[in-house]
Amino acid sequence: MLRYLGFRVLQAVGVLWAAFTVSFAVLFLLPSDPVSIAAGADAGTPVDAAAIEQLQARYGLDQPIAAQYWNALSNAVRGDFGMSISTGQQVTDAIAAALPSTLVLAGTALVFAVVFGTAVAFLATYTRVHRLRSLLFSLPPLGVAVPTFWVGLILLQLFSFRLRLFPAFGDQGIEHVILPAITLALPTGAVIAQVLATSLQTNWRQPFIEAARAKGASRLRIQTRHALKLSSIPAFTIAGVIVGNLLAGSVVVETVFSRAGIGRLTQMSVMTQDIPVVLGIVVFSSTVFVLVNLAVDLLYPLIDPRIAYGIDRGGAASTEDDPTHDDTLLEVEARV
């Protein structure tokens, strides 16, 4: 187990380094100069060339790219991302100020997504009404395909401007969170529904389901106590993808609904090519992503003890090659 944990930690460090390096390279390949953008030179505002050079030296942008990369990486390891080129604010302070609003939005959206995704998958695999079943199975692909900004604009037009049920903009109070959270939750909930529904369909064809039926268990009891529990493992696996979708979607949602947060900060920083802020946000988002995935890996044995058995043998967290897998599953799950 310790060997497995150490390997996963090394993988996490590698992901953080790769995200930082790729972001740094992309930002420096852009043709514009962040200092000139911040000073307004790109917009035609007359700016003293000496002042531009002084600012470039202040932020270390006059150094060779290799030196800039090493300084940025070594400072990032210590948690120091420097100051924003656009505002002069410490990057960590800017992220800390924007974080609470995004946490509220992402947390609310996650609750909506889990409820929506689980409900759709559960009903789609439980109902025996063919038309309703087909309708429910068509919802997840639709939710993934519809652009997030389009959903946000439709919700604004309908519930804010026409019905006037929710405020259109702002981030003060729970009423300002509902529409953005629904917009952000739709694609995430659709992914959960797709994965969970597929897993439920697969498990309904397993031998332990037939054994449970033979014991006299009702369809609802089998679905809730046996099939749903086992099917939650693949859905739990995509927790990292869900977090990534929420963080990426917040850029669009916070822009559409004019909310202050990490997403809006990212959008403004990319537009102004504010390198320190973008790098800070990338490292923060990557850290959240790898920590969530690491936590999921460590929680697997609590959900399914057979996975812990596979890890203890030195293998991956899988039961594919366990010859006793089907028999054990049949014995355990058929006890109703």
Q: What pLDDT digit, counting tens, does each position of 211-224 carry?
A: 878 887 788 887 87
Burial readout 260-283 (b: 16 or more C-beta within 10 A, e: otherwise): ebbbbbbeebbebbbbbbbbbbbb
pLDDT band at 93 (very low <50, low <70, confident <90, very high): very high
Contact 98, 280 (CB under 8 A): no
pLDDT score of 45:
58
Q: Among residues 254, 253, 252, which one has the least CA distance to residue 98? A: 254
Q: 305: part of which helix (H) or strand (E)? A: helix 305-312
The answer on pLDDT for 118 being more than 80 is yes
The stretch 51-78 carries a mean pLDDT of: 84
The pTM score is: 0.77
Percent of the chain residues past pLDDT 70, beyond the cut: 85
Most confident region among 3-17, 83-97, 161-175 by mean pLDDT: 83-97
pLDDT at residue 321, rounded to an integer: 42
Q: Which of 5-9, 101-105, 186-190, 332-336 has the lowest mean pLDDT?
A: 332-336
Task: Report the pLDDT value the prediction gives residue 331, as an integer from 0 to 100.
Answer: 41
Angstrom distance (rounded) from CA 278 to CA 261 = 14
pLDDT at 181 > cutoff 60: yes
- Return the pLDDT at 333: 43
Summarize the confidence of residues 257-273 as an average pLDDT: 86
Query: How deeply is 66 buried, as exposed, middle or buried, from its count of CB atoms within 10 A (0-12, 13-18, 19+)?
Result: exposed
78-91 mean pLDDT? 86
Q: Which residues contact 80 (CB under 8 A, 6 or more apart)?
A: 92
CB-CB neighbours of 108 under 10 Å: 18
The SS3 call for residue 118 is helix
Cβ atoms of residues 232 and 196 within 8 Å: yes
pLDDT, position 323: 40
Q: Taking residues 234-238, report their average pLDDT.
A: 78
